[in-house]
Amino acid sequence: MLLDAWALAIETLSWVELQRISERTALAKAAKQLGTDDSSAVRLAHKLVCETGRRKNLIDFLINSVLPPQSLNDFKLGLRAFLRLYTYETKIVHTGFEKAVRIARIGRSILGWRELQRVEETLGEILSIGIDDVVKGISDEEKVGLLTCHPTWFVKYCFRLLGRMEALKYLEDSMEITPTYIRINTLKATEETLLSKIEKDGITLEKVPRLKHTYKVIKNKQPLIRTQSFHDGFFYIQDKASCLVPEVADPQRGMTVLDVCAAPGAKTTYLAQLMENEGTIYSLDYSKRRMKVWKRETKRMGVKIAVPLLADMRKPLSTKLLADLVILDPPCTSTGTFSKMPSAKWRLTRRSIVSMARIQWEMLNICGNYVGEGGYLVYSTCSITVEENEMLIERFLKWHPEFTLVKASPRIGLPGLRGQTACQRLYPHLHKCNGFFVAKLLKETT
pLDDT of amino acid 37: 86
Nearest to 353 by CA among 320, 325, 386, 324: 386
Q: Is the pLDDT of residue 273 over 90?
A: yes
Tell which phi-psi region holds residue 87, choosing left (phi > 0), alpha (psi between -120 and 50) or beta.
Answer: alpha
Q: Is the pLDDT of residue 395 over 90?
A: yes
| Annotation marks residue 367 as catalytic | no
Q: Is the pLDDT of residue 165 over 90?
A: yes
Tell me the mean pLDDT in the region 241-258: 98
pLDDT of amino acid 95: 78
Tell me the mean pLDDT in the region 211-230: 96
| Percent above pLDDT 90 for the chain | 85
Nearest to 36 by CA among 73, 11, 55: 11
Q: Are 89 and 103 in contact (CB under 8 A)?
A: yes
Tell which phi-psi region holds residue 55, choosing left (phi > 0), alpha (psi between -120 and 50) or beta.
Answer: alpha
pLDDT of amino acid 255: 98
Q: Is the pLDDT of residue 187 over 80?
A: yes
Nearest to 389 by CA among 439, 338, 334: 439
φ/ψ of residue 233, rounded to 5: 75, 25
Tell me the mean pLDDT in the region 73-82: 94
Q: Is the pLDDT of residue 344 over 90?
A: no
Name the pLDDT band for 342 (thresholds 50, 70, 90).
confident
Residues 6+ apart with CB under 8 A from 157: 350, 385
Q: Is the pLDDT of residue 131 over 90?
A: no
pLDDT of amino acid 175: 86
pLDDT of amino acid 70: 87
Q: Is the pLDDT of residue 133 over 90?
A: no
Q: Is the pLDDT of residue 134 over 90?
A: no
Q: Is the pLDDT of residue 319 over 90?
A: no
pLDDT tens across 210-219, in order? 999 999 999 9
Distance CA 81, CA 16 (A): 10
Name the pLDDT band for 339 (thresholds 50, 70, 90).
confident
Name the pLDDT band for 53 (thresholds 50, 70, 90).
very high
pLDDT of amino acid 252: 97
Q: Is the pLDDT of residue 130 over 90?
A: no
322 burial (CB, 10 Å; 0-12 / 13-18 / 19+) is middle
- The whole-model pTM stands at 0.93
Tell me the mean pLDDT in the region 6-14: 96
Name the pLDDT band for 343 (thresholds 50, 70, 90).
confident
Q: Is the pLDDT of residue 176 over 90?
A: no
Q: Which of 50, 367, 382, 423 is catalytic?
A: 382
